[in-house]
Structure 1
């Protein structure tokens, strides 16, 4: 593979810099080594491709694909590798919960550096991608480079959009380590409710019950960085499907659902646009 030049992120055949087949194949080749016996590995493989799909939609709707092709391609590459550390995390610790194992974002950076998987990316862009991946799971980011900061925002939004899909359609125990019934019968912690209704993302350190984890996902809408993310979220409708499938015991949870509905409606006024992920 030809090394990239300083003004180009990816040397794709035919100058088609949106062709991600080589990058996704690198990801799939690496993750194939973890096998398929544990369905949680497949969950993360599918999630990664889902994040790439949402990233393409987000870049298109925000006009970034046309206006800043270097940033757009870096964002696609970051989407493919943002969770590559999840596989080693699961192998070592048998869990996806960072608090019980290791920071999966830091593991992702470690894997990428040890495998030199991004060696074909120009150095400055490679560092931005690694920085974005390293901080994509933080409650608050702290990135001095404005380009890397925007790149991280793109990864965070695309990641969260597909987390809603995973939350809605995949095995809930694979994702959360508890059943839907356990979540339905639990109450939400006051700190979690307060943050969500105040328009803030939920701090993972405040979570104490299964329902708190569900509300963490709802809180993503309080922290979307791009207008198109709200439209994509509302159009897909995944954000509330799991809640609609259970009988809610806690009225505070219903208030949180109403809050999210209001936020999405407020951000989705205007002309209709194509909001389907590629």
Structure 2
């Protein structure tokens, strides 16, 4: 029996007259990579902010690692980590100094050993004593994710982690995300890059007009898209084609 890392039921949120979330439901299994897709303004970041206790919902319930986000926000925060759209690193400090700073802020006794282990794990040992201002985009993002893992959170939220990165740097981050899941960390990913979800996610949900309109594995989503046949071959739809087709059907209703 699989264990649930996130359970969301009937989640609602409005900002003045704008009803952003209109009853969002989904579950995320422990140790999996879950991708939440949606157009700009669909409410992906709002969902992340509620699940990470940065924002209170207007209705519905949400539990993270078994803790209700409203009733036990401190327990939620202790068991998660959040990496936003832009790398939260100090460019004046070196990579090593950034990691040591976070370890000390978390009151961890062995901050230098933790730092050395993470530098090695994320392939940053050679650049450890350089200022972060000299790092490439991919290196900064790897450092940002490494900082997020200090304290061994059970679940990490990655809110559009490859925004603004070049293709090579994006592939670096993808490799890192896969390694996190392989090591047992649950990953909740929001992205606008459909190829990213196609490459990484165990399960995918599409958020549109305030609701989850479809959820499943990539293979399950492909079954919703009629195969395109030609005389000699059958074309398999990409996740991008599935996404656009599903969104189009919803808007026609």
Structure with greater helix share of residues: 1
By the TM > 0.5 criterion, same fold? no
Normalised TM-score (structure 2)? 0.30
User: TM-score if structure 1 supplies the norm length?
Assistant: 0.28
Bigger share in strand: 2
